[in-house]
């Protein structure tokens, strides 16, 4: 055994035959050095002595609703966590001050110099009153949780079926409670301290640490950062950690909303403009311009979320949950209103035609095709999401199927009129993306289903739809390693409100919707199958073409 085997992986170089925590080996936890790296760290920590602050430091504690990433820089592509006293995870005071300073400029601009310091009127540097001591976990619970996280970029795969990126390792804390400390070099009144903590609440409301726009480092309250609140519940297939244990990952919301933003824009403007505008909203890399922080982010809180194992998968039931859409930058009041209008339309579109998370293109087979699961060796397929009563303003009421048509027709006009988009001087669309949302590239078909047992199309994904004709495992329905060109949604049917200021009325019925990207070029056999199926929908089914 060589000498480096006795050195913790944390202190070994990221080279072959030494520390290789960035190397992802699916299904092989025993060979996954990231687990050894995290375990060595956790075992070496002093779990008996929780780091505390001195008596003169005022503290507040916050619980994060999902994961939190503290960033001390990257090593071979892996974000290394910040490690503080006694080996404990630590959120640096410098990062805390940066978040506080941004919030202070927004809430109390006249107090920025006094609290945080800076250049005075005479140009001389002036120290601030406050000292930011950072934050530590409240207790040792984090030492027993899984720290190995995975980042899995999927935009190219979801939109175009191109596998350009794999999964990457990340080290993050799972639902920790942190205690943060602030002190002053002068005695302050209780009123001043109330103002200071109000500013900090505003700061942490946007999230702290890395990847906050995707749901990391988020607490339950978001203050002025909150743009929209959507109360909803969902069921479906949970994501899996590298060791195959299940975990519901709230970053699925940003991924879905970002993807739909790109789809919708690609049907209105040229691809370059669509891509740039999507990244300006949700963040990303803009070539020579480097990385850009997006204006929007998501945070999700599901206090009653349940996970359970099902054959070869974990399934989730969120219970009553809250999705917050956040504004991550300082914007004008008019920009805030515009973003709210845009997000409302994208949320409605997302819930009308699909869902969130794994297998979002298919409806939940447990609810609408229960016989499928009579075989205990059938894998779970699909998901199902519904709005809760307090958020029915985000539904699309369907008195007649033509209401879906009206919504989709109006949707493109509302997005095309977004002021920020006009500032980019877009050109006419060029339909290059597989799932571009444009009438030449997509069709939406629908019918009214009487109840959850009246789903017709769910069976077409698994057998013949008419005589011997089948789309099972075709280019249209997809198969392992290939994303299909059809979405299937059982959308709860809501009727328009009976009076002003009353909510839409939920019924026992569903609007069964098929969203199809016909792919009129490519494999002749697959094109023929698709055209036969579309002819069947038109001539031999009770589906109506809505868009």
Condensed to tens digits (0 to 9), the pLDDT of residues 447-483 reads: 999 999 999 999 999 889 998 889 998 888 887 777 8
- Tell whether 482 is covered by a domain: yes
- Residue in the structure block whose two tokens are 């500013």: 199
d(CA 161, CA 72): 34
197 and 322 together in one domain: no
- Distance between CA 446 and CA 545 in Å, rounded? 7
User: Residue 459 and residue 447: Cα distance in Å, rounded?
Assistant: 15
pLDDT-derived band at 255 (thresholds 50, 70, 90) equals very high
Neighbours of 500 (CB within 10 A): 5
- Say whether pLDDT at 405 is over 60: yes
Segment 279-307 mean pLDDT: 87
Residue that terminates a domain, selected from 208, 238, 256 = 208
DSSP letter for each residue of 423-469? TT-PPPP---STT--STTT-EEEEEEESSTT--SGGGGGTSEEETTE
Average pLDDT over residues 423-446: 84
Q: Is the pLDDT of residue 27 over 60?
A: no
Is residue 214 a part of any domain in this protein? Answer: no
Q: CA distances (Å), 406 to each of 166, 260, 400, 410, 510, in order?
A: 39, 19, 10, 6, 18
Residue 309 forms part of a structural domain:
yes
Does residue 163 carry a pLDDT above 70? no
In this structure, are 259 and 388 located in the same domain?
yes
Residue 120: DSSP 8-state: -
Which of 63-67, 188-192, 328-332 is least confident?
328-332
Closest CA to 341 of 430, 421, 435: 421
Q: At what angle do helices 333-353 and 251-266 cross, to 10 degrees?
A: 90
- Tell me what the mean pLDDT of segment 402-407 comes to: 97
More confident residue, 509 or 310: 509
Structural domain range at position 135? 3-208
264 touches 415 (CB < 8 A): yes
Q: d(Cα 535, Cα 518) in Å, to the nearest integer? A: 12
CB distance 494 to 396 below 8 Å: yes
Q: What is the CA radius of gyration of the chain?
A: 26
Cα 345 versus chain centre, distance = 17
First to last CA, the chain: 67
Q: Give residue-wise pLDDT tens across range 369-399.
A: 988 777 767 788 999 999 999 999 999 999 9
Distances (CA, A) of 208 to 64, 205, 214: 10, 8, 12
CB 516 within 8 A of CB 534: yes
What pLDDT is stored for residue 450 in this prediction? 96
Q: Taking all residues of the chain, what is their mean pLDDT, rounded to a whole number?
A: 88
Same domain, 348 and 437: yes
Mean pLDDT of 64-81: 81
- 286 and 402 both lie in a single domain: yes
Which of the listed residues 208, 241, 275 is the one where a domain comes to its end?
208
Beta-sheet strands, E only, within 460-527: 464-466, 469-470, 486-495, 505-516
Whether residues 250 and 288 share a domain: the answer is yes
pLDDT above 70 as % of the chain:
92
Contact indicator for 543, 537 with CB cutoff of 8 Å: yes
pLDDT tier for residue 117 given thresholds of 50, 70 and 90: very high
Query: Is the residue at 215 inside a domain?
Result: no
CA atoms of 110 and 385, how far apart (whole Å) = 45
521 has a pLDDT exceeding 70:
no
Q: Does position 19 have pLDDT exceeding 80, yes or no? A: no
Most confident of 3-12, 105-114, 155-164, 516-525: 105-114
Give the percent of the chain with pLDDT over 90.
60
Comparing CA positions, the residue from 236, 258, 260, 231 lying closest to residue 249 is 236
Confidence at residue 26, expressed as pLDDT on a 0 to 100 scale: 54
Buried b (16+ CB within 10 A) or exposed e, 44-67: ebebeeebebeeebeeeebebbbb
Q: How many domains does the chain have?
A: 2
Q: Is residue 53 part of a domain?
A: yes
Average pLDDT over residues 249-278: 92
Task: Kindly state whether residues 326 and 290 are assigned to the same domain.
Answer: yes
**Model confidence at 200, in pLDDT bands (50, 70, 90)?**
very high
* Average pLDDT estimate for 93-104: 95
Model confidence at 293, pLDDT cuts 50, 70, 90, reads confident
Q: Are residues 139 and 283 in the same domain?
A: no
Residues 171 and 240 placed together within one structural domain of the fold = no
Whether residues 244 and 176 share a domain: the answer is no
* Residue 545: alpha-carbon gap to chain centroid: 31
User: What's the pLDDT score for residue 191?
Assistant: 95
Distances (CA, A) of 408 to 316, 337, 351: 30, 21, 13
Could you tell me if residue 217 is inside a domain?
no
Q: Residue 152: what pLDDT?
A: 66
User: Are residue 423 and residue 534 in the same domain, yes or no?
Assistant: yes
What is the predicted pLDDT for the residue at 1? 42
Q: What is the DSSP letter of 312?
A: T
Q: 306 and 429: one domain?
A: yes
Pair 193, 213: CB distance under 8 Å: no
pLDDT for the residue numbered 520:
67
Average pLDDT over residues 90-105: 95
Residues 6+ apart with CB under 8 A from 40: 8, 9, 10
Q: Does 262 lie in the same domain as 190?
A: no
């Amino acid at each position: 055994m060589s000498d480096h085997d006795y050195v913790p992986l944390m202190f070994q170089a990221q080279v072959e035959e030494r520390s290789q925590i960035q190397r992802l080996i699916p299904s092989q936890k025993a060979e996954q050095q990231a687990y050894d790296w995290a375990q060595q760290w956790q075992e070496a920590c002093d779990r008996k002595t929780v780091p505390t602050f001195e008596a003169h430091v005022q503290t507040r504690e916050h619980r994060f609703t999902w994961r939190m990433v503290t960033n001390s820089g990257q090593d071979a592509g892996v974000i290394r966590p910040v490690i503080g006293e006694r080996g404990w995870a630590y959120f640096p005071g410098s990062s805390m001050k940066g978040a506080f300073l941004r919030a202070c400029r927004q809430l109390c601009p006249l107090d920025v110099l006094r609290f945080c310091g800076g250049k005075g009127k005479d140009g001389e540097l002036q120290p601030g009153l406050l000292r930011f001591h950072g934050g530590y976990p409240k207790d040792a619970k984090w030492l027993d949780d899984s720290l190995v996280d995975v980042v899995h970029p999927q935009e190219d795969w979801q939109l175009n079926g191109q596998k350009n990126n794999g999964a990457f390792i990340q080290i993050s804390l799972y639902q920790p409670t942190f205690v943060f400390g602030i002190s002053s070099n002068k005695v302050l009144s209780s009123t001043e301290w109330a103002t200071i903590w109000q500013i900090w609440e505003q700061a942490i409301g946007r999230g702290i640490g890395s990847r906050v726009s995707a749901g990391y480092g988020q607490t339950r309250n978001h203050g002025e950062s909150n743009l929209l609140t959507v109360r909803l519940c969902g069921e479906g297939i949970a994501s899996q950690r590298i060791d195959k244990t299940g975990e519901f990952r709230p970053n699925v919301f940003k991924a879905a909303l970002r993807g739909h933003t790109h789809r919708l824009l690609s049907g209105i403007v040229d691809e370059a403009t669509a891509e740039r505008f999507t990244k300006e909203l949700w963040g990303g890399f803009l070539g020579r311009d480097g990385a850009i922080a997006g204006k929007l982010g998501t945070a999700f809180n599901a206090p009653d979320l349940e996970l359970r194992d099902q054959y070869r998968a974990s399934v989730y039931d969120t219970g009553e949950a809250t999705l917050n859409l956040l504004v991550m930058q300082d914007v004008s009041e008019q920009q805030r209103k515009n973003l709210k209008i845009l997000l409302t339309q994208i949320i409605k579109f997302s819930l009308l035609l699909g869902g969130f998370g794994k297998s979002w293109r298919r409806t939940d087979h447990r609810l609408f095709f229960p016989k499928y699961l009579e075989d205990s060796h059938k894998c779970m397929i699909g998901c199902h999401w519904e709005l809760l009563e307090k958020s029915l303003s985000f539904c699309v009421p369907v008195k007649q199927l033509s209401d879906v048509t009206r919504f989709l027709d109006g949707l493109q006009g509302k997005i095309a009129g977004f002021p920020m988009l006009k500032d980019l001087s877009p050109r006419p669309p060029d339909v290059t993306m597989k799932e571009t949302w444009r009438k030449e590239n997509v069709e939406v078909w629908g019918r009214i289903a009487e109840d959850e047992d009246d789903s017709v199309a769910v069976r077409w994904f698994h057998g013949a739809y008419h005589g011997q004709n089948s789309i099972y495992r075709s280019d249209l329905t997809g198969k392992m390693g290939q994303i299909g060109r059809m979405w299937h949604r059982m959308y709860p049917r809501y009727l328009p409100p009976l009076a002003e200021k009353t909510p839409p009325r939920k019924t026992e019925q569903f609007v069964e919707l098929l969203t199809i990207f016909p792919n009129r070029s490519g494999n002749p056999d697959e094109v023929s199958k698709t055209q036969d199926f579309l002819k069947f929908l038109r001539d031999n089914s009770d589906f109506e073409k809505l868009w």
